[in-house]
Amino acid sequence: MTTVPVTLGSRSYDILIAEGALDQAATHLARFARGGRLVVVTDDDVAAAQLTRLEESLAAGGVAIEPIVLPSGEGTKSWRYLETLLDRLLALEVERSDHIVALGGGVIGDLVGFAASILKRGCNFVQVPTTLLAQVDSSVGGKTAINSAAGKNLVGAFHQPAFVLIDPSTLDTLPSREVAAGYAEVVKYGLIDDAAFFDWCEANGPALIAGDRAAQLYAIEKSVRAKAAIVADDERETTGRRALLNLGHTFGHALEADTGFSDTLLHGEGVAAGMALAFRFSARQGLCDPADAARVTAHLQTVGLPHDLASAHVKASGAELVAHMLHDKKMAGGKLPFLLARGIGQTFLAKDVDLADVAAFLDEERG
């Protein structure tokens, strides 16, 4: 069992990582119950795979759950399901000091976190992430959001959880495509500022995706320690340090938008292709050794992740993809900052990228 603290003054909390933690849920979560009751929000697929496990282990500790089960999928991060969820929470008379449990991937975590941030002007929530993506990234750091017609994650709030409980055994029921997609966010930490961790990924990534628990545990702990340090340093993405976590996301969001935020390209898959594009664009601009860009591309390809426009199923032109980027919430003064790289482990924020260069690069990539 490992505990990683996120140090944020009065908003500090712990991330507990333990194999089988869900089967000891009463030990870890009973303190968040009120009157022997915990409200647990999840989605259909997670309910089928993991909810009974949580329910039984909490019942053993005298805690009953009040489940709210929403549809699975990105479409649930929407105004419609935010309203559904808030109405259900109000009907259950959730109080400000209560803790709502988010059991699921990034979709449930982001939605529940946002609902918690506005319910009765803010109540508490606990993250119990069940996808690799959520265990290494989205459950930590307090970014919460829903999507709107204008784009992804454009409506949201910074709202930190009170606790994060990570049980890697939940990954045993996660489809392997989802495990691979979450692995993209693991690779991201190596590419940002830890070249030795990228070496580790090259050696261990395939085993991790195939279910090697020791590799999963190592990667989860390494990732959440990296994220906790960044969040503690720059909680609201004001100094530029937290922005490094967006490596691959500007390209990736454009690819996701072009594929309709659908199962054609999962979020983590978009990030994978986006990171490969960011490295190749960096090489094209003379910032990064092309050999590093080729290494990143080769690793993502080896583990079966999208690494270019074709493998991301994107046919749009450079201009069309750049048009998607203009909806990005990182736009500042009409400019779009990009995460580029001087090499593996040397990501930096570039504020003066010419979007015409980006469009030309994407047209070259399109072939």
Binding residues for ligand GLY, rule: CB under 6 A, are: 137, 141, 143, 242, 245-246
* Alpha-carbon 177 to chain mean position: 15
Active-site residue, 188 included: no
Active-site residue, from 55, 178, 202, 237: 237
Q: Tokens in use for 244?
A: 């490094």
Active-site residue, 313 included: no
* Minimum separation from the CB atom of position 165 to ligand NAD (A): 13
Give the integer Cα–Cα distance in Å for 276 and 296: 6
Residue 174 found at the interface with ligand NAD (CB under 6 A): yes
Whichever of 76 and 246 has its CB closer to ligand GLY, that residue is 246
Give the integer Cα–Cα distance in Å for 257 and 259: 5
Interacting partner of 242 out of ligand GLY, ligand NAD, none (Cβ under 5 to 8 A depending on kind): ligand GLY
**Taking Cα atoms as reference points, which of 363, 184, 194 lies closest to residue 281?**
363
Active-site residue, 267 included: yes
Cβ neighbours, 10 Å, residue 215: 20
Residue 130 found at the interface with ligand NAD (CB under 6 A): yes
Whichever of 128 and 283 has its CB closer to ligand NAD, that residue is 128
Interacting partner of 269 out of ligand GLY, ligand NAD, none (Cβ under 5 to 8 A depending on kind): none
Give the integer Cα–Cα distance in Å for 49 and 164: 19
Query: What strands lie across the sheet with 163-166, from one edge to the other?
Result: 2-6, 13-17, 163-166, 124-129, 99-104, 37-43, 64-70
One-letter amino acid of 168: P
Task: With contacts defined by CB under 6 A, name the span among 166-174, 208-216, 291-299, 320-328 that binds ligand NAD.
Answer: 166-174
Active-site residue, 120 included: no
Residue 46 found at the interface with ligand NAD (CB under 6 A): yes
Whichever of 29 and 341 has its CB closer to ligand GLY, that residue is 341
Q: 238 phi and psi, to 5 degrees?
A: -105, -25
* Minimum separation from the CB atom of position 105 to ligand GLY (A): 13
CA distances from 22 to 27, 158, 265, 270 (A): 10, 26, 30, 30
Active-site residue, 242 included: yes
Residue 137 found at the interface with ligand NAD (CB under 6 A): yes
Give the integer Cα–Cα distance in Å for 342 and 286: 9
Give the integer Cα–Cα distance in Å for 348 and 361: 19
* Minimum separation from the CB atom of position 20 to ligand GLY (A): 27
Active-site residue, 295 included: no
Active-site residue, from 143, 159, 222, 324: 143
Which residue has the CB atom at the shortest distance from ligand NAD?
106
Catalytic residues: 121, 143, 185, 227, 237, 242, 246, 249, 253, 267
